[in-house]
């Protein structure tokens, strides 16, 4: 049994409400509806329940489609609002669509209602999916922006297109100084082929994992980093750039070197005493 379609019907005629519900049922919808015909009743319905769809008559003695649309917009819902009218002219219908209605159907042609409802329900679902994706993108962007690791986006020729706070802290360059500039400025002169080699691997779709290397800060001082570099693809799957996440490993490298030096000293001391 499909989930019922919750429909708020703004209509003063019981008979017309029956025809609307019957048409939706003929179209395969299981309909759970409430009929209202005054502003107060519509406000209460919008406050007390969740709706998938609003279908409103345009012309009623005490309440009209324009007023119903205004109430709908006040509660900031993103559900379809469809006008069903027997008197609305084409020019008025266009004006209502510009104001915020999603569709209109004439009462003498209710056969078009099911198609209109299906179209607008799908459009509303697509809007909700897009909004969730945008919220996710914004959330991820905020994480990247504030991340302590250096996160850099670049084109396939090495031009920087994004530069987060972590990159500013690690390398000393501001985003304004680096965006549009070649990332090559971070590479020591004694590693002339590294950028080209890495980008060739990226172009082949590879991800470069945990590359331990050296980069240069703005003040010219070298810093040892661990880098992960991944391809960036467009909607068609074409590789259009690379993202890199770099972490300062200078302290770890220093500790490793100190540990190796201690082992060497101990080994030398043992060989002398032997």
pLDDT of residue 139: 57
Q: What is the pLDDT along the chain (274 residues), one digit of tens a residue?
A: 567 999 999 999 999 999 999 999 999 999 999 999 999 999 999 999 999 999 999 888 778 888 999 999 998 888 999 999 877 777 787 888 888 899 989 888 899 999 999 999 999 998 888 887 777 666 566 656 567 789 999 999 999 999 998 999 999 999 999 999 999 999 999 888 999 999 999 999 999 988 999 999 999 999 999 999 999 988 788 999 999 999 999 888 777 777 777 777 777 767 766 5
d(CA 268, CA 230): 44
Residue 69, token pair as written in the block: 């649309």
pLDDT given at position 145: 59
Distance CA 158, CA 180 (A): 9
Report strand pairing: 160-163 vs 208-216: unpaired
* Contact assessment for residue 36 and residue 8, using Cβ atoms and an 8 Å cutoff: yes
Termini Cα distance of the chain: 87
Q: β-strand 53-57 against 208-216: which pairing, if any?
A: unpaired
Read off the pTM.
Answer: 0.57
What's the confidence (pLDDT) of residue 87? 75
**Cβ distance 33 to 8 under 8 Å?**
yes
Residues in the chain: 274
pLDDT at residue number 30: 94
pLDDT at 140: 61
Question: Which tokens belong to 123?
Answer: 């459009």
**What was the pLDDT predicted at 76?**
83
The per-residue pLDDT for 144 is 61
Instruction: Give me the pLDDT at residue 51, please.
Output: 95
Domains, the chain, with CATH or none: 5-141 (3.40.50.2300), 147-257 (3.30.450.20)
């Amino acid at each position: 049994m499909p989930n019922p379609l919750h429909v708020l019907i703004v209509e003063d005629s019981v008979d017309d409400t029956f025809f609307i519900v019957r048409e939706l049922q003929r179209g395969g919808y299981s309909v759970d509806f409430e009929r209202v015909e005054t502003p107060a009743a519509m406000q209460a319905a919008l406050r007390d329940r969740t709706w998938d769809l609003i279908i409103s008559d345009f012309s009623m003695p005490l309440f009209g489609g324009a007023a119903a649309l205004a109430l709908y917009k006040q509660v900031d819902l993103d559900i379809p609002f469809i006008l069903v009218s027997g008197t609305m002219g084409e020019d008025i219908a266009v004006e209502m669509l510009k104001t915020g209605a999603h569709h209109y159907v004439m009462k003498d042609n209710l056969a078009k209602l099911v198609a209109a409802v299906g179209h607008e329900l799908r459009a509303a679902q697509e809007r909700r999916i897009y909004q969730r994706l945008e919220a996710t993108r914004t959330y991820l962007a905020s994480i990247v922006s504030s991340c302590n690791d250096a996160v850099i986006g670049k084109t396939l020729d090495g031009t920087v297109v994004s530069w987060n706070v972590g990159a500013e802290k690690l390398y000393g360059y501001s985003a304004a100084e680096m965006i549009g500039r070649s990332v090559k400025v971070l590479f020591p002169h004694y590693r002339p082929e590294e950028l080209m080699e890495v980008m060739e691997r990226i172009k082949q779709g590879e991800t470069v994992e945990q590359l331990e290397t050296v980069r240069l800060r703005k003040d010219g001082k070298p810093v040892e980093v661990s880098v992960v570099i991944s391809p960036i693809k467009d909607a068609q799957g074409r590789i259009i750039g690379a993202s890199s996440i770099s972490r300062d490993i200078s302290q770890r490298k220093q500790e490793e070197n100190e540990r190796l030096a201690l082992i060497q000293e101990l080994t030398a001391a043992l060989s002398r005493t032997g």
